[in-house]
Every structure is written in C-alpha cells, then in structure tokens.
Structure 1
C-alpha cells in the first residue's frame, strides 16, 4: 500500500523531553569508538571553551529517532516498517549537545515520492532545548519502503 501523500506538510506534536546525561555521552562515544577527550573529559572540554563535555555529532540520533518514529509508526500514514531501509540521515547543529540539556523534537513530513516501486519519505526533526527553548539541531532523514508503491519498476 502506498504512503498517504496528504501527510506532506504534517507536523507532529513535540516529543517528551530527553535529558542528556554526561555518562550517556561517554557511553555513546565508547560505543562508536571515538576517544575524543571533548566527549569524555570535562576539564578538556572546558579548556576548549565548552561548559562541559559535548556529545559526538551522531549522538543526536538518540533524540531524533523517537521523533522520527512518530511518523514511522503512524498507522494512518501507511508505512510498512518491515520493508524500510534507512536511506539518509543528516544533522545540522546550531550548538553542541551538553549534559543537562532537555531536548524534544517536532517532526515535519517534508516529502513523499515514489521511485522504482518504492515509497520514499523525507522527514525533518527540529530539536530544541526546554519548552520552546533554543534550537539545537535539525535532523533530516529519508526512509525507503521497498516495493510498497503502486508504481512498478520498469
């Protein structure tokens, strides 16, 4: 079943805030094998001009995935998640993520298209600190549902 194109332009409500912890940042850095002291050592981060350790750039996926999942698991959209591959992910930062940040996101459906029998969903998550606080990053992603479009590959 193809995706419901009337969802283009839809905005989902803000997600429950995620409180960033220093140890979660350290654990994430270790999991991705990045030993940059800015992610693990408060004194090194402060010497570099930050108030505390900062999160690696890809840590944002921890916050962005629950935001994106609002659409991925919205039954009205019609996305068959068993056929989804992650096509693309980008993060554009306004500032680094720090311990103590309480981050939530608002999801926007930017585009739905069909190509070679696949449905392609482009989403954008605007991640901010606090209630209507400062913008921290924009996460854009593309999900491809293989073989779900009524359009057939030629």
Structure 2
C-alpha cells in the first residue's frame, strides 16, 4: 500500500504572517479593475457619481480586495516552511466579507493567517484568511481563499 504524504506542511495551520506594507488604492487601479470585471456601476468609474452616493472617491468593485490579499498570499507562498509549490496550485474558492467598501485613496495593509490545511489523498487544501485594515487599523474586509495543491498520485 502506497503512503500518501501531504504536499503542504500541516504545521503551518494557525500561522500568522506579518502585515504587508501599505497599499495606496489608486483611482485608475479601481477603474481598471472595474473594467476587467465588467462592472457597470457608475460608482466604480465616476468620482461625481460616487460622491453623490456618499463616498469620498470612486468605489472599488467588491472583488478588488483580492489585489490586497494577493500581497499576503505572496508571503506565504514564498515561505519554505509552508512548502507550497505554486506550480501545483489550483484556486478552489474565494469569499469576501466587507465591513465597508474600498475607496480610492484608502491606504490598506493585510495580514494573513493559514486557517486550515487538509489532506485529501495526495492533495492538500489550504484555506487562508486575510484581514485587510485601513490606516486607522480598522477592519475593511476579510478575504478567505482556498487553494488546492495537487500532489503526486
């Protein structure tokens, strides 16, 4: 009988990574992202529409938070202790819990925790929970993603 070995170090479950450097959300980045996700919401493009709706500047599409989360994911993917081979990764799930919208001009940091590491035969499922904070250290969004790391069968 062949023994299956997890392709991700299960000991990183619960590990918190240091906060990322601040990311200044730019108006044009918000607009570019909105175009990429085919948004039709005027608040994503038009400063005056966003201000009329009560925002300081253009509002990022809800999934824009992945841009911030990606910076934290890079940290864990580069961690030799986690032993995640990115060439074997398939994106399994993505969720966002917003406390408030992200707006151009926000300066955001993120901190990632490895929420779970599960073995599924030769494969691993790793769930990350990334908290995104504003300059006042107020929670803006929690981004939760699950990656499937394919092992050898």
TM-score by length of 1: 0.90
Count matched residues.
148
CA-to-partner distance for each residue in 1:36-59, whole Å, 9 max, x for gaps?
Answer: 101011111122222221100111
Deviation at 1:124, TM superposition (A): 0.5
Give the aligned partner of residue 44 of structure 2: 39
CA-to-partner distance for each residue in 1:1-51, whole Å, 9 max, x for gaps?
Answer: 622111111100000111001111111111222131010111111222222
C-alpha distance in structure 1 between counterparts of 2:14 and 2:34, whole Å = 35
- Asked if 1:134 corresponds to 2:138, the answer is yes
C-alpha distance in structure 2 between counterparts of 1:56 and 1:133, whole Å = 21
Give the aligned partner of residue 147 of structure 1: 151
Deviation at 1:104, TM superposition (A): 0.7
Deviation at 1:82, TM superposition (A): 0.8
SS of aligned partner of 2:83 = coil
C-alpha distance in structure 2 between counterparts of 1:45 and 1:2, whole Å = 46
C-alpha distance in structure 2 between counterparts of 1:146 and 1:4, whole Å = 13
Give the aligned partner of residue 123 of structure 1: 128
User: Tell me, which stretches of 5 or more residues in structure 2 are unaligned?
Assistant: 1-5
Give the aligned partner of residue 105 of structure 1: 110
The answer to whether the Cα contact below 8 Å between 1:73 and 1:81 also exists between their aligned partners in 2 is no
TM-score by length of 2: 0.91
C-alpha distance in structure 1 between counterparts of 2:146 and 2:11, whole Å = 17
* Runs of 4+ in structure 1 over 2 Å off: none
